[in-house]
Structure 1
Amino acid sequence: MSRIAYLIPVAVLAVVLISSSVFVVDERQRALVLQFGQIRQVINDPGLNFKLPFIQNVQYYEDRILSLDTDPTEVTPSDDRRLVVSAFARYRIVDVERFVEAVPGGVRQVEGLLEGILNDRIRAVLGADGVTSNTILSEERAALMQQITVQARTRSNSLGVTVLDVRLQQTNLPAQNLDATFARMRAEREREAADEIARGEEAAQRIRATADRTVVELVSDANREAEITRGEADAERTRIFAEAFGQDAEFYDFTRSLAAYERALRQNSTFVISPDSEFFEYFDGSALGGGNSLAGPSE
């Protein structure tokens, strides 16, 4: 019983010593084994590792590619057209020992240092001679980003990190220039709209004039054709009347009088006219040689 009482503390101590001696490095990490603040071992490969318990401690660092978004910075290209540029970068810790010595504050501190390097290189490259605002917004933008990446990589080597890539995110005008730019763009669009409206009105007037001229021509042609047809009809009617008059003049006069009576009586039922008028010559039979009249026998 007494031996078991001694073995339990020994086993517990052994477990504590083993757990304090063993550590695991993830495949996404690198590790430093420190002893009294001094680097004793750099572990770059993942797996199970050992250290002296209670004397040595382990610090882990990211082995993955890290990202950094910079705050917008103002640049002045060679054409003096100021721009506000923001960028993002991809970097990686490649030398853990140098990183620890140069950046004791860790990732947060190195990101502040990298942002300063990136902003400085962005201003230097985009503000170089021959680089205009149009160049920054053209296909040459990729070459400019490559220059920024190379220069930032050279500057960051002393920090134990390497800059893998730098990309420009947004390229805008400063806030004080936006209103003037938008006003100029608005004025240009309004001028273009006015030109389009003027051209549309001119085309509409031209089409309207053509349509009016076509209408006049069509109506004129139709009237001419109608007058020709009416003249031909009148001539034919006159010819028929002449033929009828030539065959029997008295009957011709009689039918014409009947037609006149019909038109007159259709419009009026009362006439104030002398009985001796020629208009009523067929009513008393005088025009028919004393024969039957239209009015019947006299009373």
Structure 2
Amino acid sequence: MKAQLLIPIGIIAVGLGLSSIYTVDEREKALVLQFGEVTAARTEPGIGFKIPFVQNVVKYDDRIISLTTQPLEVTPLDDRRLVVDAFARWRIVDAVKFREAVGDGGESFAKNRLDGILNNAIREVMGSVPSTAVLSNDRTALMNKIRDIAKREANALGVDVIDVRLTRTDLPEQNLAATYARMRAEREREAADERARGGEAAQRVRATADREVVELTSEARKQAEIVRGQADAERNRIYAEAYGKDESFFAFTRALQFYAESLKPGTSSLVTEPGSLYFDYERFVTSLAAGGTAPAAGN
């Protein structure tokens, strides 16, 4: 009879012993609660003991937890509405304070609270700067300000906000068309200004080129006239010297030159009298040597 009683008693004792033991993973924090009140906190991994049926253990994640906020519409200083969402990383640093703040809600309730804290921080920071600062590539200073505000507010939850990143900063859908139209108009105006400046510059270049052409042409003509005058003077000098040396030979060359010019092939014609000197070579050359003139000829 006693042996039969020892078996259930042993089973009960083993069950009580097992229920009084709990383990804490290295990725967890644990709180021992007695009638809802915290009696012990364990942050180190290992085995702990509690009073069966009187105390219970609540565990929280000791790792870094991610939180993505819902898209939020903000109004910067220049009243351009923007849609912003953020990504935050946080961690439970004080499990007792965390329990007192969230109660039985746990991490899901804490995420809702953090979401509200982040939204308020984003509105506060974004409302203090123009939209150009929000839309720029370097938003580190803004994100650090949001993180510091959220860290200060989340301290009451026993939570440390490690980092905050803005993942999207866009215009609302209803403003996109108007914004794109304004951007297009600005770009078209800039393009028109560039074309006008280009046309003005091209006109200046053409005017300068035309002036240089006129100047170069005038200078070339002047130089050509000078060279032509010098050549004519040199020719006349040579003719004068040749005439002074041998008048008959000079008359002979002039006669040959006149014949070459008056008897050109093709449609050349000569109108003269039958007894003209033109047909008497010796008399013609003698006349030229004496200072006479050649008979009139026409083409």
- TM-score relative to the length of structure 1: 0.70
Q: Alignment identity in percent?
A: 54
* Counterpart contact for 1:75–1:123, Cα < 8 Å: yes
Shift in CA distance, 80/239, structure 1 to aligned 2, threshold 3 Å = closer
Query: Paired residue for 1:228?
Result: 226
> In structure 1, how many angstroms separate the alpha carbons of the residues matched to 2:18 and 2:158?
31
Q: What is the identity, as a one-letter code, of the residue corresponding to 1:252? A: F
Query: Paired residue for 1:94?
Result: 93
SS of residue in 1 equivalent to 2:44: coil
SS of residue in 2 equivalent to 1:27: coil
Query: Paired residue for 1:7?
Result: none
Deviation, 1:150, is: 4.8
Query: Paired residue for 2:294?
Result: none
Query: Paired residue for 1:296?
Result: none
Deviation, 1:221, is: 1.1
Q: What is the identity, as a one-letter code, of the residue corresponding to 1:43? A: R
Q: What is the identity, as a one-letter code, of the residue corresponding to 1:217? A: E
Q: How is 1:51-62 mapped onto 2 (pairs within 5 angstroms)?
A: 59-62=58-61
> In structure 2, how many angstroms separate the alpha carbons of the residues matched to 1:224 and 1:205?
28
Query: Paired residue for 2:150?
Result: 149
Shift in CA distance, 217/15, structure 1 to aligned 2, threshold 3 Å = farther
Query: Paired residue for 1:210?
Result: 208
> In structure 1, how many angstroms separate the alpha carbons of the residues matched to 2:198 and 2:285?
77
> In structure 2, how many angstroms separate the alpha carbons of the residues matched to 1:74 and 1:98?
32
Q: Greater CA deviation, 226-235 or 241-250?
A: 241-250
Deviation, 1:144, is: 4.4
> In structure 2, how many angstroms separate the alpha carbons of the residues matched to 1:269 and 1:75?
98
Query: Paired residue for 1:116?
Result: 116
- Structure 2: segments with no counterpart, 5+ residues: 1-11, 287-299
* Counterpart contact for 2:278–2:284, Cα < 8 Å: no
Query: Paired residue for 1:47?
Result: 46
- Structure 1: segments with no counterpart, 5+ residues: 1-12, 290-299
Provide Cα deviations, 1:165-185, integer angstroms capped at 9, x if missing partner. 444444333222232223222
> In structure 1, how many angstroms separate the alpha carbons of the residues matched to 2:35 and 2:238?
141
Deviation, 1:82, is: 2.4
Q: How many residues align?
A: 270
- TM-score relative to the length of structure 2: 0.70
Deviation, 1:260, is: 2.9
Shift in CA distance, 100/44, structure 1 to aligned 2, threshold 3 Å = same
Provide Cα deviations, 1:241-267, integer angstroms capped at 9, x if missing partner. 233334443332221121233345553
Shift in CA distance, 249/118, structure 1 to aligned 2, threshold 3 Å = same
